[in-house]
Amino acid sequence: MEDRALHEIKKLNIELKDLYRKQKERLDKLRKYTGLQLYASKSSNGAYYYLVRYPGEDKMKYVGNESKPLIRAIMEARYLEKSLEFLDNDIELLDNFLREFKSVSFRSVTESLPRTYRSRRSKRNKPKEKLAAEWKEKAEKYKASKGIFREEELIHKTEDGSFTRSKSEMSIYNYLLAHDYTFVYELPVETKTRTFYPDFSILSEIDYETVIYIEHQGKMSDPKYKDDSEVREYDYWKNGMLPNRDVYFTYDDNRGGFDIGPIIDILRLRVRPVVWEGKDEKGSNRKAG
């Protein structure tokens, strides 16, 4: 019941955002009418006529009745403005709900517990090394079966002899490799509308089942690349892969600089949580539970 209801809420949120985008596009075409104000008055025969007040002017000008294109355009623009206010409010409410919603499934509750209290059932009673190796083998086989995406763009060699498309991706790859994370570069992800190739698919060490996706965006100073990146982010969201939950987006700065810090933060939050270490009364190392 919970999964079905959550699915419908996500679907509604997507539909509202799509409607918002379409109405915003229409309003942009009517932008020149948004500053105009209408005033209605009755004639002797009961018909309504409309007067328009221009910004900064006190004098009203007669412009005809509701059949006039100008009147219809002004009324439509005002309707769209109000509609976007309602949509913006509803979308914000749903975004907040989806961001704060906590599932009561066994897996979700188990992931929220300190490691001491996690049931072994979440790891299927297998050693973590075996779970990681099985996932890696299966993922690499699946990637190989799909072929390499735009192989000619893979030009930056990593520490294990693989290749990435950018220096920043190479740095991320080498960091994951050096710290023994289980990951696959550009593992294809099939969705209802397209196949994605997220830069990094990383197996979470919380349950050895969840996969965290990281998309690193470079060249953000390039307007076309930035537009393409925004479309890609929207596509992820439209296909049910929510930002900062299922897929994380990181960026080079406007000068092309790269900082590994945001990547590390994601890893510590969703892949390999940091457990505080201190000293007990006897001076021995201990971990917080």
Q: Specify the pTM.
A: 0.52
Backbone angles phi, psi at 70, to 5 degrees: -65, -45
Same domain, 89 and 214: no
Same domain, 93 and 184: no
Q: Could you give the number of structural domains in the chain?
A: 2
- Each residue's pLDDT tens digit, 163-199: 998 899 999 999 999 999 999 999 999 988 888 999 9
Q: Per the domain annotation, does 286 fall within a domain? A: no
Written in H, E and C, the secondary structure of the chain is: CHHHHHHHHHHHHHHHHHHHHHHHHHHHHCHHHCCCEEEEEECCCCCEEEEEECCCCCCCEEEECCCCHHHHHHHHHHHHHHHHHHHHHHHHHHHHHHHHCCCCCHHHHHHHCCHHHCCHHHHCCCCHHHHHHHHHHHHHHHHHHHCCCCHHHCCEECCCCCEECCHHHHHHHHHHHHCCCCEEECCCEECCCCEECCCEEEECCCCCCCEEEEEEECCCCCHHHHHHHHHHHHHHHHCCCCECCCEEEEECCCCCCCCCHHHHHHHHHHHCCCCCEEECCCCCEEECC
Q: Per the domain annotation, does 107 fall within a domain? A: no
Q: Per the domain annotation, does 108 fall within a domain? A: no
Q: Per the domain annotation, does 21 fall within a domain? A: yes
- Each residue's pLDDT tens digit, 227-256: 777 777 888 888 888 888 889 999 887 677
Q: Per the domain annotation, does 278 fall within a domain? A: no
Same domain, 47 and 154: no
Same domain, 40 and 128: no
CA distance 248 to 216: 8
Same domain, 140 and 232: yes
Same domain, 142 and 266: yes
Residue 286 pLDDT > 50: no
| Encoded tokens for 185 | 């570069």
For the chain, give the mean pLDDT: 82
Same domain, 181 and 264: yes
Q: Per the domain annotation, does 233 fall within a domain? A: yes
Once rounded to an integer, what is the mean pLDDT over residues 263-267?
92
Pick from 165, 160, 133, 136: nearest CA to 149: 165
CA distance 82 to 217: 35
Same domain, 143 and 232: yes
Q: Per the domain annotation, does 231 fall within a domain? A: yes
Domain assignment of residue 34, given as a range: 2-100
Highest mean pLDDT out of 113-122, 140-149, 178-187? 178-187
